[in-house]
Amino acid sequence: MEIVFVLFDRITALDAVGPYEVLQRLPGATVKFAAKEPGEYRTDKGFLALVADHALRDVPRPDILVVPGGFGTRELVEDEEVLHYVRGAHEHTTWTTSVCSGSLVLGAAGLLRGLDATSHWTELETLRQYGATPTLQRVVTQGKVVTAAGVSAGIDMALDLTARIAGDDVAQLIQLGIEYDPQPPFDSGSPAKAPKEIVERYRALLAARS
């Protein structure tokens, strides 16, 4: 089972590494990190580089495709080479997935037309321009297309996918292996749950940097 993660500059590292840590433990999984060209791809502030060992053109037929998010998706949604790759890979996948604003790339590739989908909560409305119906759910499964909400949601998405692919017991084993017994100190992880002033402050900070 070949699992391809798409890398690009200004990626959000946890979008990729969360599901990676789950899916790489699937029995028989081979994981390939790929980008337009092999090399190092950096997170938004440049602090961390992840390495793409492969060029996208060399991994055309993944069983599972994972498109992470990050500010770099703003360029990706206009990058015909990447969109062409995503479209072609999708013809062969068992599962085509995204985390966070990675869903905008699936959308730009034309894969979300008529589907429910999710994204980082600040990008939900953007999904409409690709013909998708935004839903504030953590994981949205539509046929073989699975979109996850922002950043950390990729972990839940990958566990859900693992259960579908390999059964509940394997998903539970992996959850135990990564000791995923979340105990966040606050209940501030979604715009529906966070204090209203925190949500407004986040929007203001985002607007200031955009």
Residues near its own copies, by CB under 8 A: 12-14, 17-18, 20-21, 24, 30-33, 40, 43, 45, 47-51, 53, 100, 120-121, 138-139, 149-153, 155-156, 159-160, 163, 168-169, 171-173, 175-191, 193-195, 198-199, 201-202, 205
Q: Give CA–CA dist 14/12, Å, rounded.
A: 6
80 vs 169, beta carbon nearer its own copies: 169
Query: What are the strands, taking DSSP E only, across 127-184?
Result: 133-134, 139-142, 145-148
Q: Hey, what long-range contacts does 108-116 have (CB within 8 A, 24 or more apart)?
A: 108/76, 108/77, 108/78, 108/83, 109/83, 110/83, 111/86, 111/87, 111/145, 112/145, 112/147, 115/142, 115/143, 115/145, 116/140, 116/142
Q: Which is nearer to its own copies, 83 or 99 (CB)?
A: 99
Report, in Å, the least distance between residue 80 CB and its own copies.
Answer: 27
Options 3, 4, 67, 100, the catalytic residue: 100
Q: Confirm whether 187 is a catalytic residue.
A: no
User: Closest separation between CB of residue 91 and its own copies, Å?
Assistant: 24
Active-site residues, by number, are 100
